[in-house]
Amino acid sequence: MATHKIAVLPGDGIGPEIVEQGIKVLKALEPVLGCEFLLEYADIGGAALEHGKPPLPEETLKLCLDADAVYLGAVGDYKWDNIEPERRPEQGLLQLRKAMELYANLRPVKAYQPLLHASTLKPEIIDGIDIMVVRELTGGLYFGKPRMKEPHEAFDTMRYTKPEVERIAKVAFAQAQKRGKNLCSVDKANVLASSQLWRETVEEVAKAHPDVSLTHMYVDNAAMQLIRNPKQFDVILTENTFGDILSDEASMLTGSLGMLASASIGEHHRAMYEPSHGSAPKYAGQNKVNPIATIMSAAMMLDYSFGYAQAAQWIDDAVLSTLKAGIRTYDIAEPGASITGTSQIGDEIAKRVSKPVATGG
């Protein structure tokens, strides 16, 4: 029987309860796929700090490097706001992304038909959107040196090398080739030197991908266009910080940040799967938040890390069928409709994937 070793890092806030739902769905698929998911849990972020460890404990990193895939909930909690910056929970996640060289973050933004009215935008603007945000994940402002903070002055450095831009651009072109063959590279090349290098490099990579039509957009314009006419986008390629911001913005096209899954991939088949949203500590332990982003991240794991594309589609179908049945968490429920808890949403989706239908619906 095929076995797949998954390092599970529930993390902080709502992390544990949303990860539990994704695991439920994976477990429900074991008999259908005839495989076994070997789960090994470890601490990261605030959960590691609680146990007197650094935000990315050595044993957690080792487990992740040895695993076939990493499945993460979320990190961060207000209670660590005053800790030394290098011990903040978020550092655990950033160090893990860097140590695993997960430079490509894929965030699919898709309109689910039953949720057209859950978005703050008009249904006709979002009906049919299908965007892949390709965010560079291990460079830019998040990691650039020098970096300094003193009481009266502080700075970060937006720094990119050409090879860093080349490798993420190749991922984005490959995505575009599999999809609608349109790639929009987002930068701020009218102002920033790092963006000028970014644009030149993307142009060079484009020469090897003549079947993809490439456009460039300044990030301020892209933020506006995403709301004005999101259907113009197929694949969006952008650097780390712009991608962080634009993907949160784009998630509202789906109705909720709670719907936005993500896969972070790198060399050597390493990959981590996590929802794009944060740890929402104020909702922790209330069985309230939307686990769909985390469940859909597990679907991305099945597809990208383990080659079960069909099972990923079953999860997508199960999510759609759950939404169609009007089963929703508070963030996507229509006014006056009944609200379902995190764990029950997990049950509903797990129930549907254990008896998958052959085609999408």
Residues whose CB falls within 8 Å of the CB of residue 160, separated by 6 or more in sequence, listed in order: 136, 139, 140, 194, 197, 198, 239
Please give the residues from 177 up to 206 whose contact with Mg ion meets the rule CB under 5 A.
Answer: none
- State yes or no: is 248 an active-site residue: yes
**Cα(280)–Cα(275) distance, rounded to whole angstroms?**
12
The question of whether 244 is a catalytic residue gets the answer yes
Q: What DSSP string describes 123-152?
A: HHHHTT-EEEEEEE-SSGGGT-S--EEETT
- Is there binding between residue 274 and Mg ion (CB under 5 A)? no
Q: Quote the least distance from Cβ 90 to ligand IPM, whole Å.
A: 4
**Helix (H) / strand (E) containing 108:** strand 104-110
Contact flag: residue 264 with ligand IPM (CB under 6 A): no
Rounded Cα distance between 322 and 259, Å, is 13
In the residue annotation, 218 being an active-site residue is answered as no
Query: 354: helix, coil or strand?
Result: coil
Q: Does 55 bind ligand IPM (CB under 6 A)?
A: no
Q: How far is the CB of 348 from ligand IPM (least distance, A)?
A: 26
How would you classify residue 101: left for phi > 0, otherwise alpha for psi between -120 and 50, otherwise beta?
left
**CB-wise, 16 or 278, nearer to ligand IPM?**
278
Determine whether 188 is an active site residue.
yes
Residue 67 CA to residue 56 CA, distance in Å, equals 16
Q: Identity (one letter) of the amino acid at 199? A: R
Piece in contact with Mg ion (CB under 5 A), picked from 44-52, 117-125, 243-251, 329-337 = 243-251
Q: Which is nearer to ligand IPM, 214 or 246 (CB)?
A: 246
Find the part of the chain contacting ligand IPM (CB under 6 A) among 54-62, 90-98, 251-259, 323-331.
Answer: 90-98
Query: Which two structure tokens, joined as six digits, stand for 153?
Result: 């002055």
62 is catalytic: no
Residue 93 Cβ vs ligand IPM, minimum distance, rounded to whole Å: 5
- CB proximity list for 254: less than 8 A, separation 6 or greater: 109, 110, 111, 112, 115, 119, 126, 260
Of residues 247 and 340, the one with the C-beta less far from Mg ion: 247
Find out whether 122 and 227 touch, Cβ atoms under 8 Å.
Answer: no
- Minimum gap (Å) between residue 122 Cβ and ligand IPM: 26
Length of the chain measured in residues:
361
Q: Does 244 bind Mg ion (CB under 5 A)?
A: yes
Cβ closer to ligand IPM: 194 or 276? 276
Q: Does 90 bind ligand IPM (CB under 6 A)?
A: yes
**Interface residues for ligand IPM in 277-336 (CB under 6 A)?**
278
Q: What would the two tokens of residue 304 be? A: 């990208």
67: CB partners within 8 A, 6+ apart? 5, 6, 7, 40
**Least distance to ligand IPM, CB of residue 221, Å:** 22
**Does 276 sit near ligand IPM (CB under 6 A)?**
yes
Residue 83: name its binding partner from Mg ion, ligand IPM, none (Cβ under 5 to 8 Å by kind): none
Closer CB to ligand IPM, 21 or 276, in the complex: 276
**By Cβ distance, which residue is nearest to Mg ion?**
244
Token pair belonging to 132:
């892949």
Q: Which of 244, 249, 316, 348 binds ligand IPM (CB under 6 A)?
A: 244
Q: Which is nearer to ligand IPM, 77 or 347 (CB)?
A: 77
Distance CA 162, CA 126 (A): 35
Where on the chain is the footprint of Mg ion (CB under 5 A)?
244
Q: Residue numbers of the site for ligand IPM (CB under 6 A)?
A: 75-76, 90, 93-94, 244, 276, 278
- Cite the active site residues: 142, 188, 220, 244, 248
